[in-house]
Every structure is written in C-alpha cells, then in structure tokens.
A and B are shown apart, each in its own frame.
Chain A
Amino acid sequence: MHDRSILLVEDNPDDEALTRRALAKNNIQNEIILARDGAEALDWLFGTGPHTGRPAVPELVLLDLKLPKVDGLEVLRRIRANPNTRLLPVVILTSSREERDVVTGYGLGANSYIRKPVDFGQFVEAVRQLGLYWLVLNEPPPHPDAA
C-alpha cells in the first residue's frame, strides 16, 4: 500500500526547511518522511535499524547526493538492487550538476535529476513542477506487495 508519503533525504536543515516551504507553497500535502543521511533513508525503506518491521512505502524519494555515512548515489544503487524498491520513483534533488553525478545518477536508475537553484523563486517553481508530475500526473508503479 502506498502511504502517499515523500521520503526526503536531506542532511542540511536549511534545505529541508526550504524544501518543506516550497512543497507547502505548492500545496503538496503529502506526509514528509525525513532522513538525515543515507543509512537512515535505507533503514526507512528496508524496515531495518530503528524502523525494523515497519518499512516506509513512499510514493516518491527526493534524494540529495552529498550525504553523511552513505551517500546519495549508493542509496540509489541499493534502492534499485532491492526488489521491493526497484521501481520506486527517485528524483535526485541536489546542489550539484557535476556531469559525473548526473551521468552516474541516471546510470543507477534515477527517474529525474533536478538541481536546486539558488534563486528560491526558481526552486519553488521546480518543486511545483516535480510535485505536479510525480505526485499527480505520474501513475506510480504497483507496490510489490500489492502485486
């Protein structure tokens, strides 16, 4: 079952606040599950560690790349390696547009790559579009449990 939540993987509290604000400004009401680093994100997704037996089944993952402990690309790799999360929509939302990050990100199966603009107005616009696309327009893949 989708709980229509969004897993936000973000270590920077400022970015977290701005992202929440941008989502709110766009009236995206979905529950935000926050993970401060890659390990925490994986615990949430795989029901491990503190979240043993209670895996989150988000509708969308907003993934930063530069993270403590397990970085974003590694998180993506493990999401795609796990049958339960294999089809989960993952949008990379990060500061960098370093070519190697973009290439590796898509290579590992990212569904989108969005660079956070400095201009907050532009950021709000970006979040609006991605929310509209992934949470409204896009038909999510069926959850493995439901299949």
Chain B
Amino acid sequence: MRGYVITGDTTYLGPYQSARRTLSSRLAGLRGLTSDNPAQQRRLDSLETLVATRLERFQWTIDTRRTGGLAAAGRAMIGGRGKELIQQVHEVVTGMEDDEERLLAQRSATLQARARVARLAAWSGALLAIILAVVAGALITRELAGRRRAERTLGETQRRFQQMLASSTAVIYANAVSGATFSPTWVSENVTRITGYGPDEPLQPTWWLDNLHPDDRARVLAEMATEYRFRGKDGAYHWVHDEARLLRDAAGKPTEVVGSWVDITDRRRAEVSLRASEERLRLLVGSVRDYAIYMLDPEGHVRSWNVGARQIKGYTESEILGQHFSRFYTPEDVAAEKPAAALRAAVASGRFEEENWRLRKDGSRFWADVVITAVRDDRGALVGFAKVTRDLTERKRAEQALRASEEQLRQYATQLEAANKELEAFSYSVSHDLRAPLRSLDGFSQALLEDYHDRLDDTGRDFLQRVRAASQRMGTLIDDLLSLSRVTRGGLQVTEVNLSALATALAAELQRSDPQRDVRFAIAPDLVARGDPGLMRIVLQNLLGNAWKFTGKRSPARVEVGSMAHDGGRAFFVQDDGAGFDMAHAAKLFGAFQRLHASDEFPGSGIGLATVQRIIHRHGGQVWAEGTPGRGATFYFTL
C-alpha cells in the first residue's frame, strides 16, 4: 500500500487486493468459532464495521494517488483517520483475545485433573534424572580438581624448565619438518643472550641458513657436520656445536627436528692453539737432527721416531716402531738388565740420565748421552717415556784427544821444567865454575907479568897480555850469557814503570862512567809503560848502552828517548846519531852473538840486543830497528 503511494506502481497493490478478498472469509470463520459466545459475536460485529471503514479509506487513498499524484496521496494518508481506526480495531481484537484466554483457563483446569496421574509418573522420571545429574556433577568436580593439580605441576615443571634453559649455555630449538623443508617452530629464550638476536629472529625461516658461515655451508649441509661457524648479531662468527635429532611419527615419517646448540668458540680456540702447539712441537722434534727424540710405551716399546733418531741409530721409523728399546743397548748391558733398570729409575725419580755406549743398527757402538723421562697423564698414570739421546762419540773422541794432548802437554811441561832446572843448574855451574879458570888464567898471567917481568921479553909480555884480555872477554861473555838466561827465568812482576826516570838515571850513569864524552840526551818526560821494572831496566841499559857505544866516534853526539803512535798503541824508541847499520843486516841484529861491527871498533858480546828482544817478547811486545850506516840507528819497542 505504502509502496504504491510512494512509487505509483500498481504491483504494490497486489497484497492489498488479495487481503481485501480474504478478509470477509476470515471474519466469517471467526463468527463460526465464537458462535457459542454472544459477547464475542458482538465484538465481531463492531470489528466488521471498523474493517469496512478502514478498507474504504485505503480505496480513497489509492484513488487519490491515481488521480492526484504522490503529494495528494501523502496528505490523504497523514491527514486521514487511519491511526484512530487501527486503534479501535486493536481494542476489539484485544477484547476478543482476553475472552478467549479466560475460556482457555477454564477449560485447562478441567484438563489438569485428568493429567494428575500422568504427572506423577513424570515426576518419578525427573527425580531419577536429578540423582543422575548430582552423581555426574560430583564426578566432574573431581575431574576438574585433578586437572588443576596437573596444570599446576605442569606449570612448575615448565617454570623450572624455563629457568634451566635461561641459565644454560645450550640453545634448544625445534623445527617442523615437512618433506624436505624445515621451519623453526621454537627456540629457547637464551638464544638472545648467546647470539644477540631478538627472540623472534630465530623463528624466521632463513635465519639459520643466513647466518651460517658461507665456507661451512656446504660441509654442514652435505656431511651433517655438527660443528660450524655461526654469525652472531654483532657480526662476529662463533663456533657452535649442534646436536640435532629427527623425530618421526608412528608411521616413520619425519615430523620434527629438535636439537641443542652450544657456543664452542673458546674450546675451539684452545683446540686450535693446542693443535698448533702440538704441530710446532712435532715439527721441532721431527726436524731435530742432532738428537734422537722418541717415545716409548710403558713397557719400553718404541712408539715414535724422529730424523735425529734415524740419523744416530740407523733405523727407519717403520723398522723400529713397536720394537723394544733394549736393542739399542750393548749385549753386556742387556745381560746386566740395564734397560729395565733405566725405566725403573725413570719411573722412580721421573728422570734417568747416563752416558754410555749404545748400539747402532749396523752394530757399531756410539757414546750416547741418554735422558729418559717418565711421561704421566693428568691423573699421574704412567703413559710412557720420552727418550732423548745424543751421539757424543765425537765429543768423547775429542775429550780423549784432549786428554791425550793434555797428557802430552804435561809431559812437555815436565820436560820443560826439567830443562829449565837443568838450564838453571847449568847457569849456576857456569856462573861458578866457568869463571874460576878464567880467573886463574888472568891471575897467573898477571903474576907472571909481575914476578917474572925481567925474564920476559916484550913478545912474551904481549902474549901474556893477550891471554889476560881473552880471559876477561870470556868473563864478559859468560856474564852476558848468564844475564840473557836470567831474563827467561823467573816470573814477570808487571807494574807501571816510569821509563823517562829510568832512562834519565841510566844516562847519568853512562855520563859518570866516561865524563869526557859529550853526549846530549833528549829524554821525553812521562814515558810510562807496564812491565817488569828489573827487565825494563835491562832493556834501556842495553839500548842506551848501545847508543852510547856507537856514538863513541861522534862529538857531540845526540841520543833521544821518546814514544810515538804505532798500530793503535804506543811504541817507545831510542835513537842515536852514531855509526848506524845497514838495513840489509837488520834481521841479524837481534840474534845472540851476532855483531855488525868489528869488536876492536865497538867491543861487545853481541848478546845485548838478543836480551832486549827476549825481554820484549816476554812482555808480548815487539822490537825492531831502523838504521843508516854513518847516520845513526833507532830502536823501537812496544809492550
């Protein structure tokens, strides 16, 4: 109806038309049902009137819409008595309904009496149901309490488990397996502490593979290697040990991978360092050629072998491994059970050391320095012996040679000492006995000259003078020889010697011995040397004496004593402007009894410079000379 008013479409009038057709027959039906009740019949009368009025209004509205359009029909609906009519209809219908309900109540009371028997039966059934319900309730309550307890226990276990995991260094994980793909489903919270990743990151499908070291990826995937490098959140790689287990369902199909995962970086580092150190030791021991270094098991069987061992003992590694070390001993040592004794000693005191003969593979003997050290494990149990052997044959030989040469040296020393004693005795004897005949020769020649002067002619007296001169020269020779031999005997008393003072004193002595000579000495001050003062005196005595002697034909003569730089040290010199010498004969100068001048020209024994040389050499110094005939000579010496 309203649809038609708004749209003007007649199809909306369909329900209205059909309701209008059925209304009269429905009202007739109501009259039939309430025919036994006059009050209801009356109400039906007024209802029929009201309905007719309402229908008329509907028809008017439809007509208005058809002729006047929407605006007119809307006004007709709002302005008409529609509402009032519906209210009246409603009041009539409510009155009819109340009446009918009252009737129903009366009729129900009649029915209740009839149903009482049936109701009793029904109550019995209900009671049974209640009993059943109570029983069931009790059962359910008990079941619920059990479940709560179980839940509490489970919670406790879970709490403990969480604490354990949190404090553990092992990360626990689970992966679901579906075919060939794994997807992380759970990981323990300590993963954050250990790897630095947040709790959700490890559950990303590619987290594990992304952080697996690229170099380890192939190995881990192909060989199921359990140790690999894994990148932490900070970017640094850690070595981890991964133990995984594949869980299968009842049908044997893989369902889940669970595992644990430990950071072993420290252990790995220690292992690497240990391996490196072991490798270094192995290389070191392996390359040692001068020492046989090898291991024995507790029973004495060879367990390792190095180059040095091969070199010294002659066995190759394959020949000797597993052999008993007693084969290195000589048969007599084996018979004396020395190998076992050596091991016992090493066990008892930790270490056994000896030098003895050992056998090579070829049976030859070598002198060995052997050290056996007992090797024990952490708990002190004997695991074997480390054996270091050195071939000292050469040293032994050298020692023997040394001993032999020392013995020889001792013999030489003894001989030398004997020779020296002999020389000393000889000198002593010379000193005493050789001179006595000379004294007789001289003395009695003199006695002849004195007592028999008138019986001798000039020639006879001349001969006796020659005998005397010869005796005296011989006496001087003997004295010089003795002084030469004296400088080689006795120890050196080395102190600081003031050569300037010594030379000055000697020069004064020379001047006193022959005051007629005009010799000018130029002695440098502060000439200091380290030497034996007595021997230094003899050196200067000879050199100055020579200078004095060989300047005998020059007046005034000049003698200089000084020093100069020489070969990093100082050389002293005594220079004169006397007779000099030919350098061609320089080599002869220092030999005993060598003379470069005729003795009637410059007297002398030819021993003075030999004595000087011997003294200088005893001081570890050098002596040499330069000269020009007629221009003088210079004698140099170092100390």
CB contacts (< 8 Å) of A15 on chain B: these are: 436, 439-440
Please judge, given known A-B contacts A14-B440, A95-B439, A98-B427, whether A121 and B446 are in contact too, CB under 8 Å.
yes
Interface string of A103-118 (1 = CB under 8 A from B): 0000000000000111
In the complex the two chains form, what is the Cα distance from A94 to B447 in whole Å? 20
In the complex the two chains form, what is the Cα distance from A96 to B433 in whole Å? 9
In the complex the two chains form, what is the Cα distance from A94 to B486 in whole Å? 19
Which of chain A's residues has its CB closest to B447's CB? A21
CB contacts (< 8 Å) of B428 on chain A: these are: 96, 98
Please judge, given known A-B contacts A18-B439, A95-B439, A123-B443, whether A118 and B432 are in contact too, CB under 8 Å.
no
Please judge, given known A-B contacts A18-B440, A65-B432, A94-B432, whether A118 and B427 are in contact too, CB under 8 Å.
no
A interface: dominant SS: loop
Q: Are A14 and B427 in contact (CB under 8 A)?
A: no
The residues in B between 371 and 386 inclusive whose CB is less than 8 angstroms from any CB of A are none
Stretch in B225-233, B359-367, B470-478 touching the partner: B470-478
Question: A118 is contacted by which of B431, B433, B444, B475 (Cβ under 8 Å)?
Answer: B475
Nearest CB of chain B from residue A73's CB, rounded to whole Å: 12
The reply to whether the CB of B517 lies closer than 8 angstroms to some CB of chain A is no
Please judge, given known A-B contacts A14-B439, A96-B428, A96-B432, whether A118 and B447 are in contact too, CB under 8 Å.
no
Question: B431 is contacted by which of A12, A18, A21, A95 (Cβ under 8 Å)?
Answer: A95
Which of chain B's residues has its CB closest to A19's CB? B443
Which of chain B's residues has its CB closest to A99's CB? B486
Listed by A's residue number, 15 A-B pairs whose Cβ atoms lie within 8 Å are A14-B437, A15-B440, A18-B443, A18-B444, A65-B432, A66-B432, A95-B432, A95-B439, A116-B435, A118-B439, A119-B468, A119-B475, A120-B445, A120-B446, A123-B443
Q: Are B433 and A95 in contact (CB under 8 A)?
A: yes
The reply to whether the CB of A97 lies closer than 8 angstroms to some CB of chain B is yes
The reply to whether the CB of B442 lies closer than 8 angstroms to some CB of chain A is yes
The reply to whether the CB of B166 lies closer than 8 angstroms to some CB of chain A is no
CB contacts (< 8 Å) of B475 on chain A: these are: 117-119
Which of chain A's residues has its CB closest to B438's CB? A118
In the complex the two chains form, what is the Cα distance from A13 to B193 in whole Å? 124
Interface string of A26-67 (1 = CB under 8 A from B): 000000000000000000000000000000000000000110
Q: Are A95 and B435 in contact (CB under 8 A)?
A: yes
Q: Are B443 and A21 in contact (CB under 8 A)?
A: yes
Interface residues of A (CB under 8 A from B): 12, 14-15, 18, 21, 65-66, 94-99, 116-121, 123
9 shortest interchain CB distances as A-B pairs? A118-B475, A120-B443, A14-B440, A96-B431, A120-B446, A18-B443, A66-B432, A118-B438, A95-B435
Q: Are A123 and B432 in contact (CB under 8 A)?
A: no
CB contacts (< 8 Å) of A97 on chain B: these are: 431
In the complex the two chains form, what is the Cα distance from A65 to B436 in whole Å? 13
Q: Are B443 and A14 in contact (CB under 8 A)?
A: yes
Question: B433 is contacted by which of A18, A66, A120 (Cβ under 8 Å)?
Answer: A66
Nearest CB of chain B from residue A51's CB, rounded to whole Å: 27
In the complex the two chains form, what is the Cα distance from A63 to B577 in whole Å? 47
In the complex the two chains form, what is the Cα distance from A117 to B438 in whole Å? 9
Residues of B within 8 A of A (CB-CB), count: 24
Please judge, given known A-B contacts A119-B442, A119-B472, A119-B475, whether A14 and B431 are in contact too, CB under 8 Å.
no
CB contacts (< 8 Å) of A120 on chain B: these are: 439, 442-443, 445-447, 468
CB contacts (< 8 Å) of B435 on chain A: these are: 95, 116, 118
Nearest CB of chain B from residue A66's CB, rounded to whole Å: 4
Nearest CB of chain B from residue A38's CB, rounded to whole Å: 15
In the complex the two chains form, what is the Cα distance from A119 to B438 in whole Å? 9
Which of chain B's residues has its CB closest to A21's CB? B447
In the complex the two chains form, what is the Cα distance from A65 to B429 in whole Å? 12
In the complex the two chains form, what is the Cα distance from A82 to B468 in whole Å? 42
Interface string of B454-476 (1 = CB under 8 A from A): 00000000000000100110110
CB contacts (< 8 Å) of A121 on chain B: these are: 446
CB contacts (< 8 Å) of B482 on chain A: these are: 98
Which of chain A's residues has its CB closest to B449's CB? A120
Q: Are A14 and B472 in contact (CB under 8 A)?
A: no
Nearest CB of chain A from residue B468's CB, rounded to whole Å: 8
In the complex the two chains form, what is the Cα distance from A118 to B437 in whole Å? 9
CB contacts (< 8 Å) of B439 on chain A: these are: 14-15, 18, 95, 116-118, 120, 123
CB contacts (< 8 Å) of B471 on chain A: these are: 118
In the complex the two chains form, what is the Cα distance from A106 to B443 in whole Å? 28
In the complex the two chains form, what is the Cα distance from A15 to B439 in whole Å? 8
CB contacts (< 8 Å) of A66 on chain B: these are: 432-433
CB contacts (< 8 Å) of B443 on chain A: these are: 14, 18, 21, 120, 123
In the complex the two chains form, what is the Cα distance from A66 to B440 in whole Å? 17
CB contacts (< 8 Å) of B468 on chain A: these are: 119-120
In the complex the two chains form, what is the Cα distance from A27 to B486 in whole Å? 38
Nearest CB of chain B from residue A117's CB, rounded to whole Å: 8
In the complex the two chains form, what is the Cα distance from A96 to B438 in whole Å? 13
CB contacts (< 8 Å) of A116 on chain B: these are: 435, 439
In the complex the two chains form, what is the Cα distance from A116 to B434 in whole Å? 12
The residues in B between 313 and 345 inclusive whose CB is less than 8 angstroms from any CB of A are none
In the complex the two chains form, what is the Cα distance from A143 to B443 in whole Å? 36
Known: A15-B436, A119-B442. 4 other contacts (CB 8 A): A99-B486, A118-B442, A118-B474, A120-B439
In the complex the two chains form, what is the Cα distance from A119 to B435 in whole Å? 10
Nearest CB of chain B from residue A50's CB, rounded to whole Å: 27
The residues in B between 457 and 516 inclusive whose CB is less than 8 angstroms from any CB of A are 468, 471-472, 474-475, 482, 486
Please judge, given known A-B contacts A118-B442, A118-B474, whether A95 and B427 are in contact too, CB under 8 Å.
no
Which of chain A's residues has its CB closest to B441's CB? A118
Which of chain B's residues has its CB closest to A12's CB? B436
CB contacts (< 8 Å) of B427 on chain A: these are: 98
In the complex the two chains form, what is the Cα distance from A119 to B445 in whole Å? 10
In the complex the two chains form, what is the Cα distance from A14 to B432 in whole Å? 14
CB contacts (< 8 Å) of A21 on chain B: these are: 443, 447
* Among A15, A18, A116, A121: residue with most chain B CB under 10 A: A18
In the complex the two chains form, what is the Cα distance from A12 to B475 in whole Å? 18
Nearest CB of chain B from residue A64's CB, rounded to whole Å: 9
